[in-house]
């Protein structure tokens, strides 16, 4: 029976839906610009709802616009199993980041409904709201609010660049879906599975079709502000200057040296750097920059991150320095029971697979703290992602959906 479900996965149907969903927000270079809670996303959600209706799934939506499409189980009062990902994209994103996980999940429940063998628990396809965080920062908003990591009231005032708030944008989506029944935030769930493109080159390099994701890399982010004093470039002697840029260069150089590791496992990035007033004949009075630090090992990221304030203080020269830590997400390991279940499913289906860690963040991070969670990766060409050129093969897409369907069916029968 279990092999029957995997065999029912229809590669062409899954691929066609991937191509159809990619039309909402399609860019001229073959990518997708489907920002969270945008009109393009509202249209894409309508397509999901139409597919769900044709399969006989029950839709629902919560106050954070997380969208659920339920294949009712034999015992519908038990907490359901959730499977899915997100359908918002980066402004110059690809067709598959997130969308793959939602449509692979839809294909999985479609296969089950065709087979006519309902699992014990209800299985719900989920599209989490605003995973990317490119319109409204930070990302993973829907999953954070659902799992209680953040409060709905805290995300409502967040603005995009045009000054629209999450509250206004949410209202547009929920108005467009006013016929869809409402669900409470954080209803009890039995588990969560997310299929996703790898966004790296490991699977491709190892010639594997699927990845059993063992965990997610830890991440800490900081904002550093260095305050000096603006003064005349022609008249101010070096001895009295308080040059914020000179101090910033010293701080950055010291940080780079401290974060250097022989094994090349530390991911340390200064991706934003602003000098003001940023004019040629004024000694810079202020520098503002970001730090993004990531590592697999909890002790390493703790130790390195904790060194940052001291290094900043020691190298600030005559300037003032303010250090703000915005985010500290420790590395996490998914439960071994989920990993081995996914690996066993892949093995039974004769799909080549390996275990690997996810360097990128996913909604599965927040679900991990809420219920037993697992992730499945499929390869993407040259590891290119967050890019319009993102590419996968129909065969890999179907293989991932088969593993997802089989694992989900087993879990939902528990």
C-beta of 100 vs 222, nearer to Zn ion: 100
**Candidates 60-68, 95-103, 211-219, 279-287; binding stretch for Zn ion (CB under 5 A):** 95-103
Element spanning 171, H or E: helix 166-176
Contact 86, 380 (CB under 8 A): no
Q: How far is CA 171 from the centre of its chain?
A: 23
C-beta of 222 vs 377, nearer to Zn ion: 377
Torsion, Cα 34 36 42 45, to 10 degrees, reads: 90
- The SS3 assignment for 379 reads coil
Q: Which DSSP category does 196 fall into?
A: E
C-beta of 98 vs 200, nearer to Zn ion: 98
Smallest separation, CB 213 to Zn ion (Å) = 13
Which residue in 253, 222, 166, 213 sits closest to 364, CA to CA? Answer: 213
Which parts of 239-278 interact with Zn ion (CB under 5 A)?
none
CB-nearest residue to Zn ion: 98
Number of residues that bind Zn ion (CB under 5 A): 2
Smallest separation, CB 203 to Zn ion (Å) = 16
Q: How many helices (H) and strands (E) does the chain have?
A: 13, 16
Using CA atoms, how far apart are residues 143 and 128, in angstroms rounded to an integer?
Answer: 6
C-beta of 36 vs 301, nearer to Zn ion: 36
* C-alpha distances out from residue 288 to 121, 149, 216, 224, 272, Å: 51, 28, 29, 6, 8
For 124, list phi and psi in degrees, rounded to 5.
-115, 130
Instruction: Report the residue from 40, 88, 97, 194 that binds Zn ion according to the rule CB under 5 A.
Output: 97
Smallest separation, CB 248 to Zn ion (Å) = 33
**Candidates 93-101, 148-156, 271-279, 307-315; binding stretch for Zn ion (CB under 5 A):** 93-101
Smallest separation, CB 194 to Zn ion (Å) = 9
Using CA atoms, how far apart are residues 28 and 25, in angstroms rounded to an integer?
Answer: 10
C-beta of 4 vs 138, nearer to Zn ion: 138
**Candidates 46-54, 89-97, 203-211, 236-244; binding stretch for Zn ion (CB under 5 A):** 89-97
C-beta of 97 vs 388, nearer to Zn ion: 97
Using CA atoms, how far apart are residues 212 and 374, in angstroms rounded to an integer?
Answer: 8
Smallest separation, CB 276 to Zn ion (Å) = 34
- The SS3 assignment for 374 reads strand
Using CA atoms, how far apart are residues 92 and 65, in angstroms rounded to an integer?
Answer: 23
**Candidates 97-105, 160-168, 264-272, 391-399; binding stretch for Zn ion (CB under 5 A):** 97-105
**Candidates 58-66, 91-99, 365-373, 381-389; binding stretch for Zn ion (CB under 5 A):** 91-99
Which residue in 148, 65, 45, 101 sits closest to 408, CA to CA? Answer: 101
Binding map of Zn ion across residues 122-151, x = CB under 5 A, - = no contact: ------------------------------
Using CA atoms, how far apart are residues 394 and 16, in angstroms rounded to an integer?
Answer: 9
Q: Is 363 in the site for Zn ion (CB under 5 A)?
A: no
Q: Kind of pairing, strands 320-329 and 286-295? A: unpaired
Instruction: Report the residue from 25, 31, 98, 305 that binds Zn ion according to the rule CB under 5 A.
Output: 98
Smallest separation, CB 38 to Zn ion (Å) = 16
Which parts of 219-238 interact with Zn ion (CB under 5 A)?
none
Using CA atoms, how far apart are residues 269 and 250, in angstroms rounded to an integer?
Answer: 16
Smallest separation, CB 384 to Zn ion (Å) = 14
Smallest separation, CB 196 to Zn ion (Å) = 6
Contact 289, 273 (CB under 8 A): yes
Smallest separation, CB 11 to Zn ion (Å) = 22
List all residues 6 or more positions away from 282 whose beta carbon is below 8 Å from its beta carbon.
Answer: 230, 231, 232, 233
Smallest separation, CB 400 to Zn ion (Å) = 14
Smallest separation, CB 7 to Zn ion (Å) = 28
Other C-beta atoms closer than 10 Å to the C-beta of 350 total 8
Site residues (vs Zn ion, CB under 5 A): 97-98
């Amino acid at each position: 029976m279990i092999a029957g479900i995997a065999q029912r996965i229809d590669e062409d149907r899954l691929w066609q839906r991937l191509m159809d969903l990619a039309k909402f927000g399609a860019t001229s270079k073959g990518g997708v610009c489907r920002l969270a809670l945008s009109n393009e996303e509202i249209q894409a959600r309508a397509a999901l709802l139409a597919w769900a209706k044709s399969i006989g799934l029950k839709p629902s939506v919560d106050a954070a616009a997380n969208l659920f499409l339920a294949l009712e189980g034999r015992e519908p009062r038990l907490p359901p199993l959730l499977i899915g990902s997100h359908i918002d994209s980066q402004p110059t994103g690809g067709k598959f980041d997130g969308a793959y996980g939602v449509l692979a999940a839809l294909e999985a429940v479609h296969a089950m409904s065709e087979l006519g063998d309902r699992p014990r628990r209800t299985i719900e396809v989920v599209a989490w709201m605003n995973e990317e965080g490119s319109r409204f920062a930070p990302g993973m908003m829907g999953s954070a609010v659902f799992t209680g990591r953040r409060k709905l009231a805290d995300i409502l005032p967040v603005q995009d660049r045009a000054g629209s708030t999450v509250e206004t944008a949410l209202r547009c989506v929920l108005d467009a879906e006013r016929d869809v029944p409402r669900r409470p935030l954080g209803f009890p769930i039995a588990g969560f599975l997310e299929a996703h493109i790898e966004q790296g080159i490991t699977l491709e390099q190892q010639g594997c079709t699927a990845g059993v994701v063992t965990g997610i890399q830890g991440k800490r982010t900081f904002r550093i502000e260095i305050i000096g004093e603006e003064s005349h470039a022609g008249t101010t002697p070096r001895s009295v200057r308080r040059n914020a840029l000179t101090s910033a260069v010293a701080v950055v150089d010291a940080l780079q040296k401290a974060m250097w590791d022989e094994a090349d496992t530390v991911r340390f990035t200064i991706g934003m750097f602003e000098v003001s007033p940023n004019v040629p004949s004024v000694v810079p009075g202020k520098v503002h920059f970001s730090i993004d630090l990531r590592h697999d090992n909890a002790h390493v990221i703790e130790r390195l991150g904790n060194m940052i304030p001291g290094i900043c203080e020691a190298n600030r020269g005559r300037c003032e320095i303010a250090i703000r830590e915005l985010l500290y997400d420790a590395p996490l390991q998914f439960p071994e029971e989920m990993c081995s279940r996914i690996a066993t499913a892949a093995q039974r289906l004769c799909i080549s697979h390996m275990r690997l860690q996810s360097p990128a963040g996913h909604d599965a991070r927040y679900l991990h703290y809420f219920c037993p969670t697992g992730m499945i990766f499929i390869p993407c060409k040259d590891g290119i992602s967050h890019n319009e050129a993102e590419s996968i093969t129909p065969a890999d897409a179907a293989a991932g959906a088969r593993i997802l369907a089989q694992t989900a069916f087993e879990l939902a029968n528990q």
